[in-house]
């Protein structure tokens, strides 16, 4: 009993000595912090002469006194603090005084928390020395082990495991060298062409000529922005077998990194729960260690239908997941697996497969009936709102005013599958919403999932998917890990982007829904620079990159890397990023050493986090902040598991992000409806690189809007987001120059992503010029000389050869290229034009206009929706262009018939340009005509009216054609025949 009361040094663990008066040695007379004299002397020798706990300077008189060991019988009262309550009061005082932006310093200016860190490090060193002595003593006492047994215990890794997990396959020089040569030649020809155009004006139609030259200059600028980022395209090859050999050795636990899946949904009536359920089921059945997978479903509409469908999905997953893994079926989304029109017996030799497949299909049909019954019931909401099975009201009856909700299905503490094997964790999340708060739509929902997953599972990697994008390749995560877990490649990789592939599109792909040129040409080119842009879904993130940290191999930015032309008076956001990078390692070490202290408590950890200014960045959650310091993931050991759900509810509260960096520097970035482009751009500006992964079997497949109206509405949203970024502080034209981490070709690609909607203005003008030329008899090009003919021929040939060589190295078909070209014109004269005006109205005048689409039912079976035309304002401009160009062609041929033989030559040039417009708008025209004459009458009426008004005004004003002075005309008249 007497020995247990002897105080021990809080640094080295040894007993405190006594001074010459026989009293226990106390260096600090203020708080009586127990520390021996030798440890105090070490502190003073290192320049720290203040108490580690309260910061009070040590008294010299106490240091000069003698020092002897305390016997087991001594127990002086002075060894204990005079008032035990003082220590608690002092601790509470420090906790409240330590603010986000300040640190407690001692008299010499050193932060107190640094003193604690140093003391913990000293203690750690002494423990290691003691442990090393014990090990050496044990080795001496242990019998000698033969050398043969030593070799058996340390087996070298296999050659396959030591090899790289991926390789870069550059495009063949025989394909790339001619491609680059033609690009340079085309650039030279374009320069000569503009020299000719500018030096040879058309005096008789000066206005038309000037308009055409301005449009052509913009088209050339757009071509440069689009072409040169494709200068260094590459392919990549992954080796999944090497990944398994390195991280999944037989007889050992899997060392593969954990992955948190994010699935986002809002309205179950527009995004059918059955589609979301198929995405979730494909995730739960992924070919990856079960304990490494967690699926988070964000229900931003707080719909009870979504929650109930997830309950049914979790139950069905107990049967579906073991079936998928037993027979290795692909894809693992039941709706798309059972709808395949292939021989499902191919490569399946198990006799029981046919019987089990039929039984599983029957189970799935019954599951669909239950889910569809829920959907039918949810069509009409009761007046009193929805109620749960226990009779309590559903918390999300008001989708704009409800508390945060979290429900954990399956997982470690949930149900197992029918074979008793553990299933991946499935978590339903609906963040809190209250009136008066800005919720930031999808970007805000994704950031809420980042915080929830960090508290509950904290996987080092995150994969986000739209609710209609299911896993088509069960090994897609392993494909991504071949980059992210490669020590040579993965350190500076912020995300791995997969291409988007789609189901339910007809073979002709009339409206370029597949976006093949973008995903198979442009993204390959960006992969050879700094990496592909983030496209919103099918992307595996490094969680640390989402937290706004710089890459590990990059030095901290010396100054702000933000806007170079408009320096802010306040502390730059990038300076705060550098501050976090600099402090993070010290805080991580501090908390790690803190866990080893016997009397460690939550107060110490919270105080450290607060003093390091992390709360201002990440919010008021010490559990979440500590999780951000764990680069390899995992829930902090210091956290009480029983409080995790409560903490998860706290981090999804609607006011959590206030006065933090969420949406500004960390997480998904706010400020645009296309938050994906903005988020990826910020990461690339910090020095991260991304990787494009194109496995032979597409990783993910989704549902594309295949009818014309929905497609235009989708393109409108993308273009509007680009205009918003253009008008924001994150515009690539001026943002991110300070650090020099964004490569110039990468910046050029980002500039192209935000200026392309403005091409709609010159495109509208250029598509109108042929009709004007045919109606007025004028032309934008003067009589061609031999040199001019060569330039025009060279320009057209260079355009054709560039396209052919691009198809050669990319593998894209000529039909895909032509469809992309057609829809570039269709979208440019409709959705992009509206996006420009809507963007300026929204950003400058605060007016938010929406172009709504009214849905109608389809009667046709397969691809029936392709022929539906829904009323939308976006249809009017292209319809008007088609009508006026057709009218112009008719008028031109009429004038040629009346004008005689000489008028046919100039007509061909005008008609060529008019047909260029009509051919590019042909899919639009075919969509309008469709089947069974389904074109909305209002579209035709508005288009005819606008075309007629335009023609009448043109005939009256005739602005672009040079006027003939009547006086000059009368003087030139000599005979009555004039």
| Tokens 């059955």 sit on residue | 274
* Residue 109 vs residues 43, 105, 156, 234, 641: alpha-carbon distances, Å: 15, 5, 51, 53, 39
* DSSP result, 63-75: HHS--BPPPTT--
The candidate with the shortest Cα–Cα distance to 523, out of 499, 539, 495, is: 499
Sign of the four-CA dihedral 636, 640, 641, 643? negative
Which helix (H) or strand (E) segment holds residue 463: the answer is strand 461-466
Pairing of strands 493-497, 539-542: antiparallel
Q: Round to whole Å and give the CA distance between 462 and 293.
A: 10
Catalytic residues, by residue number, are: 300, 676
* Residue 833 vs residues 210, 294, 366, 700, 721: alpha-carbon distances, Å: 21, 42, 48, 32, 13
Pairing of strands 470-471, 539-542: unpaired
Q: Round to whole Å and give the CA distance between 164 and 385.
A: 57
Strand order of the β-sheet with 501-503 is 470-471, 700-703, 501-503
DSSP annotation of 410? E
Cis peptide before 331 (omega within 30 of 0): yes
Residues contacting 638, CB < 8 A, separation 6+: 591, 595, 600, 602, 605, 626
Sign of the four-CA dihedral 609, 612, 618, 619? positive
The candidate with the shortest Cα–Cα distance to 275, out of 319, 335, 315, is: 335
Q: Round to whole Å and give the CA distance between 743 and 232.
A: 13
Q: Round to whole Å and give the CA distance between 126 and 680.
A: 46
Contact 177, 184 (CB under 8 A): no
Which tokens is 710 given? 């929905």
Q: Round to whole Å and give the CA distance between 140 and 938.
A: 95
Give one word for 287, left, alpha or beta, with left for phi > 0 and alpha for psi -120 to 50: beta
DSSP annotation of 405? E
Which tokens is 183 given? 């690009």
- β-pair partners for 425: 294, 410
Which tokens is 532 given? 């592909």
Angle (nearest 5°) at CA 127 between 121 and 129: 105
* Residue 779 vs residues 738, 863, 904: alpha-carbon distances, Å: 48, 43, 13
Question: What secondary structure, in 3-state letters, does 103-115 show?
Answer: CCECCCCCEHHHH
Contact 713, 874 (CB under 8 A): yes
The candidate with the shortest Cα–Cα distance to 332, out of 181, 176, 470, is: 470
Q: Round to whole Å and give the CA distance between 751 and 734.
A: 10
- How many CA atoms are closer than 13 Å to the CA of 508, on its beta-carbon side? 9
Which tokens is 167 given? 């390789």
Which tokens is 722 given? 């680009």
CA dihedral 764, 767, 769, 774 (to 10 degrees): -140
Sign of the four-CA dihedral 736, 738, 743, 748? positive
Contact 636, 630 (CB under 8 A): yes
The candidate with the shortest Cα–Cα distance to 831, out of 688, 723, 977, is: 723
């Amino acid at each position: 009993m007497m020995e247990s009361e002897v105080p021990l040094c809080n640094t080295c663990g040894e007993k405190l000595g006594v001074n010459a008066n026989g009293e226990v040695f106390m260096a600090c007379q203020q708080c009586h912090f127990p520390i021996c004299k030798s440890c105090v002397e070490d502190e003073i020798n290192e320049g720290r002469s203040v108490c580690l706990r309260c910061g009070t300077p040590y008294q010299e008189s106490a240091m000069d006194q003698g020092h002897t060991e305390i016997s087991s019988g001594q127990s002086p009262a002075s060894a204990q603090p005079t008032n035990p309550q003082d220590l608690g009061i002092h601790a509470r005082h420090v906790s409240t005084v330590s603010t986000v932006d300040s640190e407690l310093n001692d008299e010499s200016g050193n932060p107190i928390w640094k003193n604690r860190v140093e003391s913990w490090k000293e203690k750690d060193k002494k423990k290691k020395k003691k442990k090393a002595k014990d090990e050496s003593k044990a080795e001496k006492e242990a019998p000698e082990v033969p050398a043969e047994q030593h070799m058996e215990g340390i087996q070298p890794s296999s050659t396959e495991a030591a090899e790289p997990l991926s390789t870069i396959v550059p495009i063949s020089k025989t394909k790339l060298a001619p491609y680059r040569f033609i690009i340079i030649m085309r650039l030279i020809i374009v320069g000569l062409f503009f020299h000719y155009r500018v030096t040879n004006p058309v005096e008789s139609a000066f206005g038309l000529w000037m308009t055409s030259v301005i449009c052509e200059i913009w088209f050339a600028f757009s071509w440069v922005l689009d072409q040169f980022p494709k200068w260094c395209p590459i392919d990549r090859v992954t080796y999944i077998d090497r990944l398994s050999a390195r991280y999944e050795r037989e007889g050992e636990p899997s060392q593969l990194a954990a992955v948190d899946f994010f699935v986002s949904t809002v309205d179950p009536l527009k995004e059918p729960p059955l589609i979301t359920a198929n995405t979730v089921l494909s995730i739960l059945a992924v070919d990856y260690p079960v304990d490494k997978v967690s699926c988070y479903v964000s229900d931003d509409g707080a719909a009870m239908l979504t929650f109930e469908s997830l309950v049914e999905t979790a139950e069905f997953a107990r049967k579906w997941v073991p079936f998928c893994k037993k027979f290795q079926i692909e894809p693992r989304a039941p709706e798309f697996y059972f709808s395949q029109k292939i021989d499902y017996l191919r490569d399946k030799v198990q006799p029981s497969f046919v019987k089990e497949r039929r039984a599983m299909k029957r189970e799935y049909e019954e599951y669909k009936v239950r889910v569809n019954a829920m959907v039918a019931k949810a069509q009409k909401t009761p007046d009193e709102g929805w109620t749960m099975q226990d009779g309590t009201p559903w918390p999300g009856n008001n989708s704009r005013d409800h508390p945060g909700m979290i429900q954990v299905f399956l997982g470690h503490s949930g149900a197992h599958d029918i074979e008793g094997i553990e299933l991946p964790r499935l978590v339903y999340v609906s963040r809190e919403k209250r009136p008066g708060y800005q919720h930031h739509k999808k970007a805000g929902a994704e950031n809420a999932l980042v915080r929830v997953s960090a508290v509950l599972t904290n996987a080092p990697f995150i994969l986000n998917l739209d609710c209609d994008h299911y896993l088509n390749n069960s090994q897609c995560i392993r494909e991504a890990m071949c980059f992210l877990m490669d020590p040579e490649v993965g350190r500076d990789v912020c995300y791995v982007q997969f291409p988007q592939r789609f189901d339910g599109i007809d073979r002709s792909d009339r409206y370029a829904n597949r976006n093949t040129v973008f995903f198979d040409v442009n993204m390959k080119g960006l992969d050879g620079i700094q990496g592909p842009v983030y496209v919103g879904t099918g992307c595996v993130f490094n969680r640390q990159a989402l937290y706004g940290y710089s890459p590990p191999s990059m030095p901290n930015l010396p100054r702000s890397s933000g806007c170079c032309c408009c320096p802010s008076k306040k502390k730059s956001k990038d300076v705060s990023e550098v501050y976090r990078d600099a402090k993070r390692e010290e805080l991580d070490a501090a908390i790690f050493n803190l866990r080893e202290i016997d009397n460690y408590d939550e107060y110490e950890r919270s105080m450290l986090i607060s003093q390091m200014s992390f709360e201002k960045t990440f919010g008021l959650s010490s559990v979440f902040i500590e999780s951000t310091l764990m680069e390899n993931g995992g829930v902090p050991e210091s956290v009480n598991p029983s409080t995790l759900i409560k903490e998860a509810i706290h981090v999804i509260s609607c006011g959590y992000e206030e006065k933090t960096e969420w949406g500004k520097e960390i997480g998904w970035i706010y400020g645009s409806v296309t938050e994906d482009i903005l988020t990826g751009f910020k990461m690339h500006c910090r020095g991260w690189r991304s990787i494009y992964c194109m496995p032979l079997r597409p990783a993910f497949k989704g549902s594309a809007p295949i009818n014309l109206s929905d497609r235009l509405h989708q393109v409108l949203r993308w273009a509007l987001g680009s205009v918003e970024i253009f008008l924001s502080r994150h515009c690539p034209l001026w943002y991110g120059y300070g650090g020099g981490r964004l490569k110039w070709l990468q910046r050029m690609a980002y500039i192209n992503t935000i200026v392309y909607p403005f091409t709609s203005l010159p495109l509208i003008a250029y598509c109108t010029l042929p009709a004007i030329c045919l109606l007025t008899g004028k032309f934008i090009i003067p009589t061609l000389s031999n040199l001019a003919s060569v330039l025009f021929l060279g320009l057209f040939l260079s355009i054709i050869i560039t396209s052919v060589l691009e198809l050669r190295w990319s593998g894209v078909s000529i039909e895909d290229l032509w469809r992309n070209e057609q829809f570039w014109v269709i979208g440019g004269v409709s959705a992009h034009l509206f996006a420009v005006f809507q963007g300026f109205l929204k950003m400058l005048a605060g007016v938010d206009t929406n172009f709504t689409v009214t849905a109608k039912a389809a009667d046709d079976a397969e691809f029936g929706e392709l022929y539906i035309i829904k009323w939308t304002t976006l249809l009017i401009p292209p319809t008007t262009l088609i009508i006026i160009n057709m009218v112009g062609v008719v008028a031109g041929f009429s004038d040629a018939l009346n004008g005689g033989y000489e008028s046919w030559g100039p007509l061909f040039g005008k008609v060529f340009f008019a047909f260029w417009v009509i051919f590019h708008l042909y899919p639009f025209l075919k969509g309008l005509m469709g089947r069974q004459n389904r074109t909305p009458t209002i579209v035709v009426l508005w288009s005819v009216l606008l075309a007629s008004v335009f023609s009448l005004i043109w005939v009256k004003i005739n602005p672009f054609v040079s006027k003939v002075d009547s006086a000059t005309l009368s003087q030139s008249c000599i005979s009555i025949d004039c």
